[in-house]
Structure 1
């Protein structure tokens, strides 16, 4: 296991009612002074864009959130941001399904792969919109995989925010959230991994969350703090737990530093790879960002080259079960966003000869 730790340097519109004053009117005429009134709030409209079809090897049923807003520039930014991971999952799953279906033995059983997506609008007030997208894909095995992605938008800019953008620092919100999460876990400990209270010591800077009308919801990915049967654990924390509640004036000017996962899935005759690795995005210094990402990708490339060489040398050989030797390489990572200046990344490399 290799661990990379690095530092990162990281309106309300008013309308004025015009009053036309006639000249030379009798003094008994009542004249009202101009007054300021709030312009009507234009909430975003979110409707589904549907993609649905089936063939010999896959079933696809997607509901992609499509935002309509009075700012067409930010509208496109938000829609593109939400559609990309949905279509990326669909395309990668479909490619894998097609390859497996076309190369399997004629009498080999095959269950169609499956990709679905749905969404829920959990908050839509003022210039803040929360949309929660749920993705599911099945590629064989006992069960599929479910992922939840929450988008907490500033409608004025199309940018998504972290907890810091919606809660006040002086409320010590990370401690409040951690205490609430630990308290809720302690009430139903059997739902979670046995030692989770001993290992859950903080709330990362980029913690997954979404907004509702009466509280903020913290959630964790599958297998992160609980077994698969528990689903995606969620913890709702009322705004009343924070002294100042939800921020009244949310303004997200730029994209936050984030970690995005790149994926590579390849299946060959005697070599397969499943690579799921991190890439840093939105650093203030693009040169440093490129250097970090290059270090990661180069290291992974060297690893897969070594495994491919072993696979090439094993061609024509049989294993102890009298079957052709096949090699597999996998890479996965865990990240912890400690604070705005420090991200911890653990990358695990594994290879086997079947």
Structure 2
């Protein structure tokens, strides 16, 4: 993880906070070519260890009698989300926002092999936040002090990691982790890491577990395939590679940088190693047919766990967008207003919005309509609940009516939560979020859940209602 974090710091980001928090609402994550904020304490991400897992009855699982059938049935996975904010101790400015999404394998029979995999990812969460709170916070704090000293705007540093399932069959699970760092510079810094597990043993597999030949021979086979595909790409003028790619192919390949896919073994390189940044991550596919004689795992009758991937990615973004909408824009609070120092003037409650995420009504409207279905979006924008619109356009600028704000008590904890999808059709799905809620009577946290309905309108996945 320390190596990964230093890779983050090495390249500075160009994306603004608006892109990270708001640009994705109503959109899905971009799949890899081979096929979410709430303030919390330093230990808040540990809550999911005690988070109640959905019951077996909730999942409506189908039991298969045949062992052969069982090997091809994907293991069920729940997205588990951890977030954290780190602030300046003097003025409360948010210096760092961090988010990590990991897979949690359902384990109704308490199998130690599956628990071993879940424990691996719990450790990944711990390491992720340790690095963010250490080097990440130190770098952000230094940047913030420099910004104040030299009079330029400081942008909150962002660290984000999401997983993508590329293979889930034959007792094998292959996961790609896409990690980002946004720290205010010229490029978004992105890093890939991967794991492939044997579900029967809980073992994280190396290349030598996938192939039946020694590691040196495996690497030789990979290098040969990579060189061949680079030459083919150059002939087709499809990709541009660095002049030193012939030495870089061997120098920069890490033997953990591979994933299983439906068509073959996909090996990848990090940004810049073989090609310019604009070329993206260099990827090379070894079709199973080309390596079947040296494979040491069963890839027959493969079923890739991506039938609902787009829906899963949309759900991730919509949950985060819904949280921001109800907590910062409509229900708990409104966007900050640029008010006179002396307070209200002549009883006026309408003032310009002071939030660089939204400067015009059109920007706010686009955010809302990319998060909610038409009926709910119309209701929010017209202010149906509050007896009039909370936001309006005045002279081309976004304004807010500060008299129309919920400002009520709210006790659900969004720093750690899990979600799963069910009742999936072509244009709808049930989205269930599992999280903690503070019991004010006992001063303890209890398990609770929220049910959301996702709908598809004009090809876009949205939420039918604001849920909180």
TM-score (norm 1): 0.52
- Going from structure 1 to structure 2, the CA distance change for 1:177 and 1:97 (only over 3 Å counts) comes to same
Rounded to whole Å, the distance in 1 between the matches of 2:277 and 2:76 is 34
Report the equivalent of 2:169.
125
* CA spacing shift, 1:249–1:216, aligned 2, 3 Å: closer
CA distance in 2, matches of 1:67, 1:37: 21
Mapped partners of 2:252, 2:144: distance in 1: 43
Q: Does 1:176 align with 2:221?
A: yes
8 Å Cα contact 2:166-2:176 kept in structure 1: yes
2:455 is matched with none
Distance 1:131 1:227 in 2: 25
* 3-state SS of paired residue (2:155): coil
- Partner residue of 2:297? 248
Alignment match of 1:160 (pick from 204, 208, 220): 204
Aligned to 2:158: 114
Shift of 1:178: 1.5
Q: Determine the C-alpha separation between the residues in 1 that align with 2:103 and 2:271.
A: 23
CA distance in 1, matches of 2:174, 2:166: 6
Which residue of the partner structure matches residue 226 of structure 1?
A: 275
Q: Distance in 2 between matches of 1:111 and 1:120?
A: 28
Q: Call closer, same or farther: CA 1:110–1:175 in 2, change over 3 Å.
A: same
Distance 2:172 2:249 in 1: 30
Q: Is residue 64 of structure 1 aligned with residue 113 of structure 2?
A: no
CA offsets 1:291-339 (integer angstroms, 9 cap, x no match): xxxxxxxxxxxxxxxxxxxxxxxxxxxxxxxxxxxxxxxxxxxxxxxxx
In structure 1, how many angstroms separate the alpha carbons of the residues matched to 2:98 and 2:291?
Answer: 42
Are the structure 2 counterparts of residues 150 and 81 from structure 1 closer, same or farther at C-alpha, using a change threshold of 3 Å?
farther
Deviation at 1:249, TM superposition (A): 6.1
2:78 aligned counterpart, secondary structure: strand
Distance between the aligned counterparts of 2:200 and 2:126, measured in 1?
21
Query: Does the CA contact (< 8 Å) of 1:174 and 1:202 recur in 2?
Result: no
Match of 2:287 among 218, 235, 238: 238
Name which one, 1 or 2, has greater alpha-carbon Rg: 1
SS of the aligned residue for 1:130 comes to strand
Q: What TM-score do the two structures reach when normalised by structure 2?
A: 0.41
Moved more, 42-51 or 198-207: 198-207
Equivalent residue, structure 2, for 1:24: none
Is the counterpart of residue 49 in structure 1 residue 119 in structure 2?
A: no
Structure 2 residue aligned with 1:143? 187
Distance in 2 between residues matched to 1:115 and 1:147, nearest whole Å: 11
Match of 2:350 in 1: none
C-alpha change, 1:242 and 1:74, in structure 2 (3 Å) is same
Cα distance, 1:98 vs structure 2: 3.6
How far 1:68 sits from its partner (Å)? 2.2
Report the equivalent of 2:139.
Answer: 96
Corresponding residue for residue 287 of structure 1: none
- The 1:132–1:37 alpha-carbon spacing in structure 2 relative to 1, beyond 3 Å, is closer
* 8 Å contact from structure 1 (residues 216, 237) kept in 2: yes
Which range moved further: 239-248 or 111-120?
A: 239-248
Q: Contact 2:208 / 2:214 at 8 angstroms: preserved in 1?
A: no
Alignment of 1:1-354 (within 5 A): 38=67, 40-41=70-71, 43-52=74-83, 56-69=94-107, 70=109, 71-72=111-112, 73-91=115-133, 92-102=135-145, 104-105=147-148, 107-169=151-213, 172-189=217-234, 190-197=239-246, 200-201=249-250, 206-244=255-293, 246-248=295-297
Summarize the Cα distance change of 1:157–1:98 in structure 2 as closer, same or farther, 3 Å threshold.
farther
Note the C-alpha offset of 1:50.
1.8
Moved more, 238-247 or 175-184: 238-247
Single out whichever of 99-108 and 191-200 deviates more from structure 2.
99-108
RMSD: 3.2
Residues 114/170 of structure 1: CA separation in 2 closer, same or farther (3 Å cut): closer
Would you tell me which structure has more strand in proportion to its own residues? 1
Q: Secondary structure at the match of 1:169?
A: coil
Aligned length: 215
Task: Kindly indicate whether structure 1 or structure 2 has the higher relative contact order, using CA contacts under 8 Å at least 6 residues apart.
Answer: 2
Give 5+ residue unaligned stretches, structure 1: 1-35, 251-354
Unaligned runs of 5+ in 2: 1-64, 86-92, 300-468
Q: Note the alpha carbon deviations across 1:59-88, whole angstroms, 9 max, x for none.
A: 434322222234243243332244345434
- Structure 1 residues 221 and 85, CA, compared in 2 at 3 Å: closer, same or farther? farther
**Contact 2:100/2:125, CA 8 A, preserved across alignment:** no
Distance in 1, matches of 2:220 and 2:179, equals 30
